[in-house]
Structure 1
Amino acid sequence: MPGAGGAAARLLIRASSDAPVDTGRLPARDAARRELSKGAYHENDPNLLQRALDHLWTWFGDVLAAASGATPGGVAGLTVLLLIVIALAAALRWRLGAPQTGSRPADALFPDGPRSTADHRAAAEAHAAAGRWNQAVQERMRAIVRVLEERALLDPRPGRTADEAAAEAGLSLPPHAARLRAAARVFDDVTYGGRVADRTSYVTLNDLDLAVESARPQLTRDREGADG
């Protein structure tokens, strides 16, 4: 009965197609991963930077929560503590001056090139008359160094700093060595440290300028005799 055999075969085929497929756990997981990795599922995902920022804010929030829990007064106590730290940092910065952001230029003492002592003194007096004490102090320090160079107590040397000039001049003018170093510190504080000069600072440098102009240098022979 060939017809009956063909019908039976067709019945078996239909039954096998209707049977459920039992897929293993691992193949099913892999298939799900492959499906979910398609770009269509991630079009609206945050980018890498956004995810990093989200993690950072989450971490920062956890730190603040832990700190507020450990600080007496909770969040209010932590806020007061932060304000105290900020105030101390501001006071320390004001006391020490602004940090230097780079190396000093080689010709910082004479940024426009050396001029005569008279030119620097005239500029200092003009700044002082206008109440520009920072510039007045700077020009008066330059006048001090220039008068020492004009008196041959210092060799003219481009790039010399105020500290170097004070140290070298102190060897020839020992009675004024301490005042020269102090003047150099004032110049550095005003020029590099963000400090603000005042009339007292200017008058101090002005008096030193007039003093070193007529001071008698102590030569090597004089120092050796004094030491002996």
Structure 2
Amino acid sequence: MVLIPHFEIPLDPDAPEARRWVVEELSKPEYASAQPTPFDLAMQAIRDWIASLFEGATGVPGPLLALLAVIVVAVLLVVALLVYGLPRLRRRRRAVAPLFDDHDLRDLRTLRRAAEAAAGSEDWALAIEERFRAIVRGVVDRDLVQVHPGTTAHGFADAAGRPLPAHAEALRAAAADFDAVRYLGRAGSRERYEAIVRLDLAVEAAVPEHAGTAGAPA
């Protein structure tokens, strides 16, 4: 007859052994997955806070408390958006640079529409002026040139010709047309207006050179 040795499992471990058992048990995956997330903790804190507001009140059902918790969270999110989100959006919004001495703040689309309307009325002087402003607005919005209220048409053309050398000559010619119709009282012509329209579209599609000069003041 073979005797099988019998080992008794110690039911009263010492402190180090008990600590090791606890660590091994808690390291199992099912315990880790059951840990509350930061969102769970935050929601629980909000629920506890709302419950404390109604502490001692009778007849308040649990679903009503849950609904109040959702409303409070929504209000807090809206307040956080207004306080922290909108200022960042305002900081990112580009300040519109005025063009020339009359502080023109119109955007590119508005200037092009104004030029087309003037051309439709065969007011070539106004059409040339507005379309040249559209060229300036497009270049400024791309951060290729910086302008200020004292910037002249020729100053802009010289500055824009550096990142856009292929169009430098045409930009100077367009600046001369702008000065002629705005300051010298010239009538302009369909041909010069159409040339500026082509220049506007070409400059819009052009890839700037000499990236280091981008944003240079005019």
| TM-score, structure 1 as length reference | 0.48
% identical aligned pairs? 43
SS at match of 1:113: coil
The reply on whether 1:182 has 2:173 as its aligned counterpart is yes
Between structure 1 and structure 2, the one with the greater Rg is 1
Structure with more helix by fraction: 1
The reply on whether 1:138 has 2:129 as its aligned counterpart is yes
Amino acid of the structure 1 residue aligned with 2:123: R
Match for 1:127 among 84, 98, 118?
A: 118
Q: 1:139-197: per-residue Cα shift (whole Å, max 9, x none)?
A: 00000000000111111422211111100000110010000000000111111112110
SS at match of 1:157: coil
Unaligned 5+ segments in structure 2 are: 1-97, 214-218
- Which residue number corresponds to residue 115 of structure 1? 106
Match for 1:160 among 151, 166, 174?
A: 151
- Which residue number corresponds to residue 208 of structure 1? 199
- Which residue number corresponds to residue 192 of structure 1? 183
The reply on whether 1:148 has 2:146 as its aligned counterpart is no
Amino acid of the structure 2 residue aligned with 1:217: P
Cα distance in structure 1, aligned partners of 2:204 and 2:146: 16
- Which residue number corresponds to residue 38 of structure 2? none
Amino acid of the structure 2 residue aligned with 1:150: D
- Which residue number corresponds to residue 29 of structure 2? none
CA positional deviation for 1:212: 0.4
Amino acid of the structure 2 residue aligned with 1:163: H
Cα distance in structure 2, aligned partners of 1:116 and 1:221: 26
Cα distance in structure 1, aligned partners of 2:199 and 2:180: 18
My pick for the range that moved more, 112-121 or 204-213, is 112-121
CA positional deviation for 1:220: 5.0
Q: 1:199-223: per-residue Cα shift (whole Å, max 9, x none)?
A: 101000000000000101011569x
| TM-score, structure 2 as length reference | 0.50
Q: Is the 8 A contact 1:109 1:142 kept in 2?
A: no
User: How large is the Cα RMSD of the aligned pairs?
Assistant: 1.9
User: How many residue pairs align between the two structures?
Assistant: 116
From the superposition, tell whether residues 125 and 110 of structure 1 become closer, same or farther in structure 2 (CA, over 3 Å): farther
SS at match of 1:171: coil
Amino acid of the structure 2 residue aligned with 1:128: A
Q: 1:65-102: per-residue Cα shift (whole Å, max 9, x none)?
A: xxxxxxxxxxxxxxxxxxxxxxxxxxxxxxxxxxxxxx
From the superposition, tell whether residues 140 and 205 of structure 1 become closer, same or farther in structure 2 (CA, over 3 Å): same
Cα distance in structure 2, aligned partners of 1:218 and 1:112: 29
Cα distance in structure 2, aligned partners of 1:147 and 1:111: 18
Cα distance in structure 2, aligned partners of 1:184 and 1:152: 19
Cα distance in structure 1, aligned partners of 2:196 and 2:100: 15
Q: Is the 8 A contact 2:128 2:193 kept in 1?
A: yes
Q: Is the 8 A contact 1:154 1:168 kept in 2?
A: yes
Amino acid of the structure 2 residue aligned with 1:161: T
